[in-house]
Amino acid sequence: MKEKGILLIISGPSGSGKGTVVGELSKDVNYALSISATTRKPRPNEENGIHYFFKEKEEFKSMIENNQLLEYACFCDNYYGTPRDYVEGKLNEGLNVILEIEVQGTFQVKEKYPEAVLVFLVPPNIKELKSRLVGRGTEDVETINKRIKRALEEMEFLPKYDYVVINDEVDFAVTKIMAVVEAEKMKSFRHLSLMETFKGEI
Amino acid sequence: MKEKGILLIISGPSGSGKGTVVGELSKDVNYALSISATTRKPRPNEENGIHYFFKEKEEFKSMIENNQLLEYACFCDNYYGTPRDYVEGKLNEGLNVILEIEVQGTFQVKEKYPEAVLVFLVPPNIKELKSRLVGRGTEDVETINKRIKRALEEMEFLPKYDYVVINDEVDFAVTKIMAVVEAEKMKSFRHLSLMETFKGEI
Protein backbone atom coordinates (compact mmCIF):
# COMPACT_ATOMS: atom_id res chain seq x y z
CA MET A 1 0.00 0.00 0.00
CA LYS A 2 1.29 3.42 -0.87
CA GLU A 3 1.96 5.72 2.05
CA LYS A 4 -0.59 8.53 2.26
CA GLY A 5 0.63 11.95 1.17
CA ILE A 6 0.91 15.09 3.26
CA LEU A 7 -1.55 17.97 2.95
CA LEU A 8 0.71 20.99 2.75
CA ILE A 9 -0.67 24.47 3.18
CA ILE A 10 1.54 27.27 1.93
CA SER A 11 0.66 30.81 2.90
CA GLY A 12 2.65 33.95 3.30
CA PRO A 13 2.40 37.68 3.05
CA SER A 14 2.19 39.47 -0.28
CA GLY A 15 5.73 39.56 -1.71
CA SER A 16 6.80 36.32 -0.06
CA GLY A 17 7.04 34.75 -3.51
CA LYS A 18 4.67 31.90 -2.71
CA GLY A 19 3.31 31.69 -6.24
CA THR A 20 6.76 31.02 -7.71
CA VAL A 21 7.74 28.57 -4.98
CA VAL A 22 4.48 26.64 -5.29
CA GLY A 23 4.89 26.56 -9.06
CA GLU A 24 8.35 24.99 -8.75
CA LEU A 25 7.34 22.58 -6.00
CA SER A 26 4.36 21.32 -7.99
CA LYS A 27 6.71 20.23 -10.81
CA ASP A 28 7.98 17.42 -8.56
CA VAL A 29 6.29 14.10 -9.31
CA ASN A 30 5.46 13.54 -5.63
CA TYR A 31 3.46 16.76 -5.36
CA ALA A 32 0.09 17.81 -6.73
CA LEU A 33 -1.55 21.21 -6.70
CA SER A 34 -5.04 21.30 -5.35
CA ILE A 35 -7.67 22.55 -7.76
CA SER A 36 -10.21 25.02 -6.43
CA ALA A 37 -13.91 24.98 -7.03
CA THR A 38 -15.40 28.33 -8.02
CA THR A 39 -18.66 29.92 -9.08
CA ARG A 40 -16.76 32.41 -11.25
CA LYS A 41 -17.34 31.95 -14.98
CA PRO A 42 -14.47 30.30 -16.89
CA ARG A 43 -12.20 32.58 -18.93
CA PRO A 44 -11.57 31.58 -22.55
CA ASN A 45 -8.38 29.61 -21.84
CA GLU A 46 -9.63 27.92 -18.68
CA GLU A 47 -10.66 24.28 -18.54
CA ASN A 48 -12.92 22.63 -16.01
CA GLY A 49 -10.95 20.18 -13.83
CA ILE A 50 -7.62 21.72 -14.80
CA HIS A 51 -7.70 25.37 -13.80
CA TYR A 52 -10.80 25.18 -11.63
CA PHE A 53 -13.84 23.07 -11.00
CA PHE A 54 -16.51 25.43 -12.29
CA LYS A 55 -19.75 25.22 -10.34
CA GLU A 56 -23.13 26.88 -10.32
CA LYS A 57 -23.91 28.85 -7.17
CA GLU A 58 -26.52 26.35 -6.01
CA GLU A 59 -24.11 23.47 -6.46
CA PHE A 60 -21.41 25.31 -4.54
CA LYS A 61 -23.79 26.03 -1.69
CA SER A 62 -24.75 22.41 -1.47
CA MET A 63 -21.03 21.50 -1.30
CA ILE A 64 -20.73 23.87 1.69
CA GLU A 65 -23.75 22.32 3.38
CA ASN A 66 -22.53 18.77 2.79
CA ASN A 67 -19.08 19.49 4.21
CA GLN A 68 -17.47 18.83 0.83
CA LEU A 69 -15.12 21.80 1.07
CA LEU A 70 -12.04 22.03 3.26
CA GLU A 71 -12.34 25.81 3.16
CA TYR A 72 -14.15 28.43 1.17
CA ALA A 73 -14.44 32.17 0.82
CA CYS A 74 -16.37 34.71 -1.18
CA PHE A 75 -14.61 37.40 -3.24
CA CYS A 76 -16.44 39.90 -5.44
CA ASP A 77 -19.64 37.87 -5.35
CA ASN A 78 -17.88 34.68 -6.44
CA TYR A 79 -17.25 31.68 -4.24
CA TYR A 80 -13.90 29.88 -4.16
CA GLY A 81 -13.18 26.72 -2.19
CA THR A 82 -11.08 23.58 -1.84
CA PRO A 83 -12.95 20.36 -2.67
CA ARG A 84 -12.29 17.72 -0.03
CA ASP A 85 -12.82 14.79 -2.44
CA TYR A 86 -10.17 15.92 -4.89
CA VAL A 87 -7.61 16.53 -2.13
CA GLU A 88 -8.26 13.22 -0.38
CA GLY A 89 -8.08 11.33 -3.65
CA LYS A 90 -4.62 12.70 -4.38
CA LEU A 91 -3.44 12.09 -0.80
CA ASN A 92 -4.58 8.49 -1.03
CA GLU A 93 -2.60 8.11 -4.25
CA GLY A 94 0.45 8.96 -2.12
CA LEU A 95 0.86 12.47 -3.48
CA ASN A 96 1.59 15.45 -1.28
CA VAL A 97 -1.10 18.00 -2.00
CA ILE A 98 -0.24 21.70 -2.03
CA LEU A 99 -2.82 24.29 -1.06
CA GLU A 100 -1.71 27.86 -1.69
CA ILE A 101 -4.23 29.79 0.36
CA GLU A 102 -4.72 32.83 2.54
CA VAL A 103 -4.49 32.76 6.31
CA GLN A 104 -8.23 32.65 6.90
CA GLY A 105 -8.59 29.59 4.70
CA THR A 106 -5.60 27.96 6.38
CA PHE A 107 -7.27 27.70 9.74
CA GLN A 108 -10.50 26.43 8.23
CA VAL A 109 -8.54 23.58 6.66
CA LYS A 110 -6.56 22.85 9.83
CA GLU A 111 -9.83 22.47 11.71
CA LYS A 112 -11.27 20.03 9.20
CA TYR A 113 -8.01 18.24 8.51
CA PRO A 114 -5.80 18.48 11.63
CA GLU A 115 -2.92 16.55 10.04
CA ALA A 116 -2.39 19.36 7.53
CA VAL A 117 1.10 20.85 7.69
CA LEU A 118 1.15 24.65 7.76
CA VAL A 119 4.07 26.42 6.12
CA PHE A 120 4.45 30.18 6.28
CA LEU A 121 6.68 31.55 3.56
CA VAL A 122 8.39 34.88 4.27
CA PRO A 123 10.72 37.13 2.32
CA PRO A 124 14.27 37.28 3.79
CA ASN A 125 13.90 40.94 4.83
CA ILE A 126 11.89 44.12 4.27
CA LYS A 127 14.32 45.43 1.67
CA GLU A 128 13.76 42.36 -0.46
CA LEU A 129 10.00 42.55 0.14
CA LYS A 130 9.96 46.17 -1.05
CA SER A 131 12.03 45.40 -4.10
CA ARG A 132 9.74 42.50 -5.01
CA LEU A 133 6.65 44.67 -4.69
CA VAL A 134 8.28 47.54 -6.60
CA GLY A 135 9.70 45.10 -9.16
CA ARG A 136 6.27 44.27 -10.41
CA GLY A 137 6.25 47.82 -11.73
CA THR A 138 2.49 47.94 -11.81
CA GLU A 139 1.75 49.98 -8.72
CA ASP A 140 2.38 53.49 -7.43
CA VAL A 141 4.23 54.30 -4.20
CA GLU A 142 1.11 54.61 -2.13
CA THR A 143 -0.17 51.22 -3.23
CA ILE A 144 3.22 49.66 -2.50
CA ASN A 145 3.32 51.17 0.99
CA LYS A 146 -0.17 49.84 1.64
CA ARG A 147 0.99 46.40 0.55
CA ILE A 148 4.00 46.51 2.85
CA LYS A 149 1.76 47.48 5.73
CA ARG A 150 -0.60 44.63 4.81
CA ALA A 151 2.33 42.19 4.56
CA LEU A 152 3.46 43.16 8.06
CA GLU A 153 -0.03 42.62 9.39
CA GLU A 154 -0.09 39.20 7.77
CA MET A 155 3.23 38.40 9.47
CA GLU A 156 1.33 38.40 12.78
CA PHE A 157 -0.05 34.98 11.85
CA LEU A 158 3.42 33.44 11.78
CA PRO A 159 3.15 31.79 15.25
CA LYS A 160 0.01 29.92 14.18
CA TYR A 161 1.87 28.07 11.45
CA ASP A 162 3.94 24.93 12.01
CA TYR A 163 6.95 26.03 9.99
CA VAL A 164 8.50 29.22 8.71
CA VAL A 165 10.39 29.01 5.45
CA ILE A 166 12.52 31.99 4.52
CA ASN A 167 12.35 32.46 0.78
CA ASP A 168 15.81 33.81 -0.02
CA GLU A 169 16.08 31.81 -3.23
CA VAL A 170 13.30 29.83 -4.88
CA ASP A 171 15.32 26.60 -5.20
CA PHE A 172 16.42 26.74 -1.57
CA ALA A 173 12.86 27.40 -0.43
CA VAL A 174 11.60 24.41 -2.44
CA THR A 175 14.31 22.16 -0.93
CA LYS A 176 13.44 23.38 2.56
CA ILE A 177 9.75 22.66 2.07
CA MET A 178 10.63 19.19 0.82
CA ALA A 179 12.67 18.58 3.99
CA VAL A 180 9.63 19.62 6.03
CA VAL A 181 7.44 17.12 4.18
CA GLU A 182 10.04 14.37 4.50
CA ALA A 183 10.31 15.01 8.25
CA GLU A 184 6.54 15.15 8.66
CA LYS A 185 6.31 11.70 7.07
CA MET A 186 8.52 10.40 9.86
CA LYS A 187 6.29 11.77 12.65
CA SER A 188 5.67 8.93 15.06
CA PHE A 189 1.85 9.21 14.90
CA ARG A 190 2.08 8.10 11.27
CA HIS A 191 3.93 4.92 12.26
CA LEU A 192 1.95 3.54 15.16
CA SER A 193 1.11 0.40 13.21
CA LEU A 194 4.81 -0.56 13.11
CA MET A 195 4.56 -2.06 16.59
CA GLU A 196 1.82 -4.44 15.53
CA THR A 197 3.58 -5.23 12.25
CA PHE A 198 6.71 -6.24 14.13
CA LYS A 199 4.80 -8.42 16.55
CA GLY A 200 2.98 -10.07 13.66
CA GLU A 201 6.27 -10.90 11.96
CA ILE A 202 7.64 -13.01 14.79
CA MET B 1 24.66 35.53 15.88
CA LYS B 2 24.79 31.86 15.10
CA GLU B 3 21.48 30.02 15.21
CA LYS B 4 21.23 27.73 18.22
CA GLY B 5 21.62 24.02 17.49
CA ILE B 6 19.03 21.30 18.01
CA LEU B 7 19.27 18.81 20.87
CA LEU B 8 18.67 15.50 19.17
CA ILE B 9 17.92 12.39 21.17
CA ILE B 10 18.38 9.12 19.34
CA SER B 11 17.02 5.96 20.94
CA GLY B 12 15.88 2.68 19.58
CA PRO B 13 15.57 -0.98 20.45
CA SER B 14 18.56 -3.25 20.54
CA GLY B 15 19.40 -4.14 16.93
CA SER B 16 18.15 -0.84 15.51
CA GLY B 17 21.72 0.04 14.60
CA LYS B 18 21.73 3.31 16.49
CA GLY B 19 25.43 3.11 17.35
CA THR B 20 26.42 2.98 13.67
CA VAL B 21 23.98 5.70 12.63
CA VAL B 22 25.06 8.02 15.45
CA GLY B 23 28.70 7.37 14.57
CA GLU B 24 28.11 8.43 10.96
CA LEU B 25 25.95 11.42 11.86
CA SER B 26 28.54 12.73 14.31
CA LYS B 27 31.10 12.96 11.48
CA ASP B 28 29.14 15.87 10.03
CA VAL B 29 30.62 19.24 11.00
CA ASN B 30 27.25 20.56 12.18
CA TYR B 31 26.79 17.78 14.72
CA ALA B 32 28.49 17.02 18.02
CA LEU B 33 28.17 13.96 20.20
CA SER B 34 27.38 14.63 23.80
CA ILE B 35 29.97 13.38 26.29
CA SER B 36 28.67 11.57 29.36
CA ALA B 37 29.83 12.05 32.89
CA THR B 38 30.49 8.83 34.80
CA THR B 39 31.78 7.60 38.12
CA ARG B 40 33.22 4.52 36.42
CA LYS B 41 37.04 4.38 36.44
CA PRO B 42 38.70 5.21 33.10
CA ARG B 43 40.01 2.31 31.02
CA PRO B 44 43.59 2.55 29.77
CA ASN B 45 42.72 4.12 26.41
CA GLU B 46 40.06 6.52 27.74
CA GLU B 47 40.67 10.23 28.15
CA ASN B 48 38.79 12.63 30.37
CA GLY B 49 36.75 15.11 28.32
CA ILE B 50 36.94 12.94 25.18
CA HIS B 51 35.40 9.57 26.03
CA TYR B 52 33.79 10.60 29.31
CA PHE B 53 33.97 13.22 31.98
CA PHE B 54 35.28 11.09 34.84
CA LYS B 55 33.90 12.10 38.21
CA GLU B 56 34.16 11.00 41.82
CA LYS B 57 30.88 9.74 43.28
CA GLU B 58 30.55 12.79 45.54
CA GLU B 59 31.08 15.13 42.66
CA PHE B 60 28.49 13.30 40.56
CA LYS B 61 25.94 13.46 43.38
CA SER B 62 26.45 17.16 43.73
CA MET B 63 25.85 17.52 39.96
CA ILE B 64 22.52 15.72 40.45
CA GLU B 65 21.57 17.98 43.34
CA ASN B 66 22.51 21.13 41.47
CA ASN B 67 20.50 20.17 38.41
CA GLN B 68 23.63 19.99 36.28
CA LEU B 69 22.59 16.78 34.54
CA LEU B 70 19.94 16.50 31.83
CA GLU B 71 19.49 12.82 32.79
CA TYR B 72 21.33 10.19 34.75
CA ALA B 73 21.13 6.52 35.62
CA CYS B 74 22.99 3.99 37.70
CA PHE B 75 24.30 0.75 36.17
CA CYS B 76 26.33 -1.82 38.12
CA ASP B 77 27.06 0.66 40.90
CA ASN B 78 28.34 3.31 38.50
CA TYR B 79 26.55 6.53 37.65
CA TYR B 80 26.27 7.80 34.09
CA GLY B 81 24.72 11.12 33.09
CA THR B 82 24.54 13.93 30.55
CA PRO B 83 26.13 17.20 31.70
CA ARG B 84 23.86 20.12 30.94
CA ASP B 85 26.73 22.63 30.64
CA TYR B 86 28.55 20.71 27.95
CA VAL B 87 25.37 20.22 25.90
CA GLU B 88 24.26 23.84 26.19
CA GLY B 89 27.73 25.08 25.29
CA LYS B 90 27.69 23.11 22.04
CA LEU B 91 24.11 24.16 21.23
CA ASN B 92 25.07 27.80 21.70
CA GLU B 93 27.97 27.29 19.28
CA GLY B 94 25.28 26.39 16.74
CA LEU B 95 26.01 22.67 16.75
CA ASN B 96 23.29 20.04 16.84
CA VAL B 97 24.03 17.84 19.82
CA ILE B 98 23.37 14.11 19.62
CA LEU B 99 22.41 12.13 22.71
CA GLU B 100 22.32 8.39 22.15
CA ILE B 101 20.41 7.26 25.21
CA GLU B 102 17.88 4.75 26.49
CA VAL B 103 14.17 5.44 26.73
CA GLN B 104 14.19 6.22 30.44
CA GLY B 105 16.87 8.87 29.98
CA THR B 106 15.02 10.30 26.99
CA PHE B 107 12.03 11.39 29.01
CA GLN B 108 14.19 12.83 31.76
CA VAL B 109 15.87 15.04 29.14
CA LYS B 110 12.57 16.01 27.49
CA GLU B 111 11.28 17.20 30.86
CA LYS B 112 14.34 19.36 31.52
CA TYR B 113 14.77 20.49 27.93
CA PRO B 114 11.37 20.48 26.21
CA GLU B 115 12.77 21.64 22.87
CA ALA B 116 14.70 18.37 22.51
CA VAL B 117 13.80 16.43 19.39
CA LEU B 118 13.15 12.73 20.00
CA VAL B 119 14.03 10.29 17.26
CA PHE B 120 13.24 6.59 17.56
CA LEU B 121 15.35 4.45 15.26
CA VAL B 122 13.88 1.09 14.27
CA PRO B 123 15.08 -1.80 12.12
CA PRO B 124 13.09 -2.22 8.88
CA ASN B 125 11.56 -5.53 10.02
CA ILE B 126 11.90 -8.41 12.46
CA LYS B 127 13.88 -10.54 10.00
CA GLU B 128 16.52 -7.83 9.73
CA LEU B 129 16.48 -7.34 13.51
CA LYS B 130 17.09 -11.06 14.04
CA SER B 131 19.86 -11.17 11.50
CA ARG B 132 21.54 -8.17 13.11
CA LEU B 133 21.37 -9.74 16.55
CA VAL B 134 22.53 -13.13 15.24
CA GLY B 135 25.16 -11.43 13.08
CA ARG B 136 27.06 -10.33 16.15
CA GLY B 137 27.81 -14.02 16.61
CA THR B 138 28.44 -13.62 20.28
CA GLU B 139 25.21 -14.91 21.74
CA ASP B 140 23.32 -18.21 21.92
CA VAL B 141 19.77 -18.67 20.67
CA GLU B 142 18.18 -18.13 24.04
CA THR B 143 19.98 -14.84 24.55
CA ILE B 144 18.98 -13.71 21.05
CA ASN B 145 15.33 -14.57 21.65
CA LYS B 146 15.45 -12.63 24.91
CA ARG B 147 16.87 -9.66 23.04
CA ILE B 148 14.14 -9.81 20.41
CA LYS B 149 11.53 -9.90 23.15
CA ARG B 150 13.24 -6.95 24.81
CA ALA B 151 13.41 -5.06 21.50
CA LEU B 152 9.66 -5.55 21.00
CA GLU B 153 8.99 -4.25 24.50
CA GLU B 154 11.11 -1.22 23.73
CA MET B 155 9.06 -0.65 20.57
CA GLU B 156 6.13 0.23 22.84
CA PHE B 157 7.77 3.58 23.50
CA LEU B 158 7.53 4.56 19.82
CA PRO B 159 4.44 6.81 20.23
CA LYS B 160 6.24 8.91 22.84
CA TYR B 161 8.90 9.96 20.36
CA ASP B 162 8.52 12.80 17.86
CA TYR B 163 9.86 10.92 14.86
CA VAL B 164 10.38 7.34 13.75
CA VAL B 165 13.31 6.70 11.44
CA ILE B 166 13.45 3.31 9.76
CA ASN B 167 17.06 2.23 9.54
CA ASP B 168 17.10 0.26 6.31
CA GLU B 169 20.50 1.59 5.29
CA VAL B 170 22.84 3.64 7.43
CA ASP B 171 23.34 6.44 4.87
CA PHE B 172 19.61 6.78 4.27
CA ALA B 173 18.94 6.86 8.01
CA VAL B 174 21.53 9.61 8.45
CA THR B 175 19.99 11.65 5.62
CA LYS B 176 16.53 11.20 7.12
CA ILE B 177 17.70 12.38 10.54
CA MET B 178 19.30 15.42 8.92
CA ALA B 179 15.98 16.24 7.22
CA VAL B 180 14.29 16.04 10.63
CA VAL B 181 16.82 18.48 12.09
CA GLU B 182 16.52 20.83 9.12
CA ALA B 183 12.72 20.82 9.44
CA GLU B 184 12.87 21.34 13.21
CA LYS B 185 14.99 24.45 12.63
CA MET B 186 12.11 25.86 10.59
CA LYS B 187 9.52 25.36 13.36
CA SER B 188 7.70 28.65 13.78
CA PHE B 189 8.41 28.92 17.52
CA ARG B 190 12.08 29.34 16.66
CA HIS B 191 11.32 32.31 14.40
CA LEU B 192 8.99 34.47 16.46
CA SER B 193 11.50 37.31 16.49
CA LEU B 194 11.16 37.67 12.70
CA MET B 195 8.04 39.77 13.12
CA GLU B 196 9.86 42.32 15.24
CA THR B 197 12.91 42.23 12.96
CA PHE B 198 10.73 43.08 9.96
CA LYS B 199 8.99 45.92 11.75
CA GLY B 200 12.36 47.28 12.87
CA GLU B 201 13.62 47.29 9.30
CA ILE B 202 10.98 49.64 7.96
Q: Does some domain include residue A84?
A: no
From the CA of B114, how many Å to the nearest CA of chain A?
17
Give the range of the structural domain holding residue A158, as residue numbers without chain letter: 7-34+95-201
From the CA of A51, how many Å to the nearest CA of chain B?
31
Nearest to A155 among B125, B127, B198 (CB): B198
pLDDT at B1: 57
Residues of chain A where predicted confidence (pLDDT) is lower than 70: 1, 136-138
> A12-39: per-residue pLDDT in tens?
988 889 999 999 999 999 999 999 999 9
pLDDT at B191: 92
DSSP codes joined into one string, B116-133: -EEEEEE-S-HHHHHHHH
Return the residue of B nearest to A199 by Cα: B152
- What's the ipTM? 0.88
Give the number of domains in chain B: 1
Q: Where do the H-state alpha helices sit in chain A?
A: 18-25, 57-65, 84-92, 103-112, 126-135, 141-155, 170-185, 193-201
Helix-, strand-, coil-residue percentages of chain B, each rounded to 5: 45, 20, 35
Cα–Cα distance list, B149 to A14, A196, B130 (Å): 55, 13, 11
CB pairs under 8 A between A and B: 106
Q: Does some domain include residue B62?
A: yes
Model's pTM, two decimal places? 0.89
Cβ-Cβ contacts under 8 Å, A132 against chain B:
none
Predicted confidence (pLDDT) at residue B55 exceeds the cutoff of 90: yes
| Region of poorest pLDDT, from A64-73, A181-190, B52-61, B128-137 | B128-137
Q: Any idea what the CATH number is for the domain that residue B77 is in?
A: 3.40.50.300
**CB distance A158–B195 less than 8 Å?**
yes
Q: Does some domain include residue B145?
A: yes
Average pLDDT over residues B94-102: 95
Task: Look at the alpha carbons of B26, A168, B185, B89 in this order and tell me if their dihedral is positive or negative.
Answer: positive
Q: Does some domain include residue A132?
A: yes
User: Residue B78 — pLDDT band, cuts 50, 70, 90?
Assistant: very high
Q: Does some domain include residue A61?
A: no
Q: Does some domain include residue B1?
A: no
**CB distance B186–A176 less than 8 Å?**
yes
The overall average pLDDT reported for chain A is 92
